[in-house]
Structure 1
Amino acid sequence: MNIFHSTNVEEQLLKEKIITILSLIKNKVENAAITIIRTTGININIRFGKLENIEFHNESNLIITVFNKNKTGTVYSSDLSMNGIHKIIEGAINISRHTTEDIFSGLPEKKLLAFKIKKINLFYPWNFQLETVKNLAILAENTSFEYDKRIVNTEGSSFDAYITTKVFGNTYNMIQAYHTSQYSLSTCVIAKNKHDMQRDYEYSFVRDIKDMKSPIWIGTKSAEKALSRLSPTKIKTMKSSVILNSDVTAEILLLFSMAINGENIYKKSTFLLDKLGKKIFPSWINIQEDPDLDKGIGSKPFDNEGVKTKFRYIIKQGILTTWLLDNYSGKKLGKLSTGNSGGIHNWIVTSTLKINFNGLLENMKTGLFITELLGNGINLITGDYSYGAVGFWVSNNRIQYSVSEITISGNLKDLFLNVVNISNDINYKNSIQCGSMLISDVQVSGI
């Protein structure tokens, strides 16, 4: 089944739409930026082998921002008809008339814009049959049930497929576009024994369907993870070495990205306010941002403001080298945009210490292996954190049993500096690519 529109034709039509909007805006405002995002896709949910629901997506989003005498107006709409376009233009202009003047508003400098873009392979369309993808989800769930009789229930399996065309234009005569595809398959099951019930899940998220993990692998891993959490043990309050699995490591590094975001910098609402050019990680850690990775989850040729994305070091030999700036925060701080309007682009965490996950366990010997964080326990101003956690106790270099009702707490400054090692079990499922992380001296609260 080919549910996807012809992207080349779509791109041309959307570019023509932006050219029309720019011509209508001309002489009414000083500058403007227009974004059109077109998404087509499908979502299928299965439970107990039966189709629960299927959703088709065919959406268009138009964003117009106008700049007029240091005043800004932005309007969002899903109506791309000419009548709708006239209304959204007038709406944006009217909003700009009633906003406060701000000398930092406006388009980015021309030299930063992506008038020419590099080809990045992010688009892998797949002409599938509905029955095929339904069977993928069913197989993942069935594999979990067949793995062990203690898998007694399911929260279901799902398959998603989307393609997106993004077109951007502004009054500096920049008009560019790119296409992406994404596919995901997941299942979540519940394990039960005489005394306990536990749930867990597994998923695969890719640009190219050929890279997706098999439904048998996903179903097996989901079952194994749920079973491993049965009959957890409580542990005493202590300071302990901790291993964060690759998913949790990505969560922690996402907090780091928020702490160096330009908006938090100029508002002075981050614990890393005075850390630019200073060491915040061990010297053997580098974090590179590479927006040009083929198939990268965070890859894009330009950011939400049309600024060309570039390779850069975020952390070099443990030292913080840059803030993450959009145009507005850059101007507020007297700097140029770093092309990070809309977020980060493929952070690659590298270590000069080469080790696999088993080596990380041997390195720790005894401590806590954390597989999930619970809650939202971060104070970004101070860096203090406190999270509920799920994981396993490790001794004699091996995972021994699951643990529950624990909390980890401390300050992210200390956590970053206390990283002992990072393994090579890299997580490619999101825009932060990092292995599991061993950290010393973490406060663990139990009984």
Structure 2
Amino acid sequence: MTITATEDTAERLARLQQHIEDLLREAKDRGASAAEASVGSSAGLEVSVRLGEVETVEHTRDNGLGITVYFGHHKGSASTTDLSPASLRDTVAAACTIAAQTQEDPCAHLADAALMARTIPDLDLYHPWPLGVDEAIRIAADCEDAARAYDARIVNSEGASLSTHMGLQVYGNSHGFIGGYPSTRHGLSCAVVGEDGDAMQRDYWWTSARCAADLDPARGVGERAAERTVARLGARQIDTRKAPVLFRAEVAAGLLRSLVSAISGGSLYRRSSFLLDHLNETIFPDFVRIHEQPLLPRGLASAPFDGDGVATWSKDLVSEGVLRTYLLDAYSGCRLKLPTTGNAGGVRNLSIDMGELDRAGMLALMGTGLFVTELMGHGVNAVTGDYSRGAAGFWVEHGEIQFPVEEITIAGNLKEMFAGLVAVGNDCDFPGSTRTGSWLIGEMTIAGE
């Protein structure tokens, strides 16, 4: 089977838009004062190979639909995977029944009609990959073969996986807004196990893109997974101490996600954020600029409108170290008495301005300290910002890696870590919608032996 569009994309979009119109009409006929609905359809192929043998071949084809109805400020929602006319009517009826049982909520309403997206720009998100099963297996096998052949110390494999997915998503509401667009996403990953004496280590690498031509070469992904695994062999613990910590780029992305969580509307109106009431306050050094680019062509998180139908736009979250905006949808904005920021569904294509130093330069700037390459556990207190995570990485002296480190814990407080950010590298070398180089934090507690 080859994964291709079975019919014209415009025709499929038109059919999904008709489902939205039918839902909204049904909701109005049942007395709803307002309604909003979304419907999606997707298809994909995923194969996995382990130790040179095919493990799985999975074809997917999914549909999903959800509707929310409002009777004044009473709200009810329901969903289904059956897109037949009878099921659509039943789903609207279920949402109306639920709304009748809910308490009145003054913030239960649609986003302002004036904020709806007026145009749907082409963000170059749709690149179907006419990939047959045999070719998908060959690519995954090439990736794993490259990893297993990289070094004699690679003794086992968790396998390589290749996936390709395409989908259509349409949203509409009773303001008269209906918008939709197609998108694709492709990915390849590999994980292997290394052994040296009695010690074993495991690591991985991956690539992801909207267009298959933008994926890293399969052999390069496999070799990167093996290189990372071999580098971890011979890991040891270190004594408990305080020292500078350099977060590798893909690990530093998690710190940006912690920032996003802390300034998101749900955390703020529930008063469960360590950055509560910090709008327009300095939270980073003045060289820091963090921004969102939802209209980035081929961006992995790009979208012309948010989950409320509000047009998205580029914005600074932080500039000159100052928190410039929260991240709000219509509901959380209402709860906080602030306008929506077009972030229903999250932040899209987040990035931090990177500095001039590459990885070697960042290690040299740190001098002596811990280079963190993996974090484990979920030790982040959203209310206080207290941060404690299991970690692995490398001990560095005089700007040079000395030996790999494991079974340690790093601890600090996110507010203090943000304020203590010394530099951001330009070594962003991983895929994803969050873009950052490595982060050097001036000092953290390292718990070891």
1:333-348 pair list within 5 angstroms: 333-348=336-351
AA paired with 1:414?
E
Match of 1:109 in 2: 112
Instruction: In structure 1, list runs of 5 or more residues that go unmatched.
Output: none
Distance 1:399 1:13 in 2: 58
Instruction: Give the distance between the partners of 2:102 and 2:316, measured in 1 at CA.
Output: 37
Q: Which residue number in structure 2 is paired with residue 405 of structure 1?
A: 407
Shift of the 112–428 alpha-carbon distance from structure 1 to 2, 3 Å rule, reads: farther
**Residue by residue, what CA displacement relative to the aligned partner does 1:147-189 show, whole Å, maximum 9, x if unpaired?**
1111111111100100121101111110111111111000100
1:145-160 matches, within 5 Å, as: 145-160=148-163
Q: CA RMSD in A?
A: 1.1
Partner of 1:22: 24
The answer to whether the Cα contact below 8 Å between 2:368 and 2:399 also exists between their aligned partners in 1 is yes
Aligned to 1:288: 291
Q: Is the 8 A contact 1:115 1:175 kept in 2?
A: no
- From 418, 421, 437, give the equivalent of 1:419: 421
Deviation string, structure 1 residues 314-340 (Cα, Å, up to 9, x no partner)? 001110001100111000111111111
Residue of 135, 139, 148 corresponding to 1:136: 139
Distance 1:245 1:46, change over 3 A: same
Contact 2:290 2:351 (8 Å CA) reproduced? yes
Give SS of 2:353's match.
strand
Deviations 1:236-293, CA, capped at 9 Å, x for gaps:
1111111101111111110110000111111111110021101101100101111010
User: d(CA) in 1 for partners of 2:287 and 2:183?
Assistant: 34
Match for residue 118 of structure 1?
Answer: 121
Listed one character per residue, the Cα deviations across residues 62-112 of structure 1 (whole Å, up to 9, x for unaligned) are 010001121000111101001111110100000000000001111000111
SS of alignment partner, residue 130 of structure 2 = coil
Residue 236, structure 1, aligned to residue 239, structure 2? yes
Residue 46 of structure 2 corresponds to residue 43 of structure 1: yes
TM-superposed CA distance for 1:5, in Å, is: 3.6
Specify which of 285, 294, 313 is matched with residue 310 of structure 1: 313
Contact 1:14 1:36 in 2 (8 A): yes
Give 3-state SS (helix, strand or coil) of 1:369's partner.
strand
Distance 1:428 1:95 in 2: 44
CA pair 428-155 structure 1, distance change in 2 beyond 3 A = closer
**Does the 8 Å CA contact 2:3/2:45 hold for their aligned counterparts?**
no
Q: Which segment is superposed worse, 358-367 or 421-430? A: 421-430
Q: Is the 8 A contact 2:48 2:160 kept in 1?
A: yes
> Which of residues 212, 215, 227 is equivalent to 2:230?
227
Amino acid at match of 2:252: T
CA distance in 2, matches of 1:2, 1:248: 34
Q: Which runs of 4+ in 1 moved over 3 A?
A: 2-6
- State percent identity of aligned pairs: 35
* TM-score, normalised by the number of residues in structure 1: 0.98
Q: TM-score when scaled to structure 2?
A: 0.98
- Which ranges of structure 2 fall in alignment gaps of 5 or more residues? none
Structure 2 SS opposite 1:285: coil
One-letter identity of the residue aligned with 1:271: F
1:187, 1:201 within 8 Å by CA — same for their partners in 2? yes
Alignment-mate amino acid for residue 186 of structure 1? S
- Shift in Å, 1:427: 4.6
Give the drift of 1:26: 1.8
What is the aligned counterpart of 1:206 among 206, 209, 212?
A: 209
Distance 2:428 2:231 in 1: 22
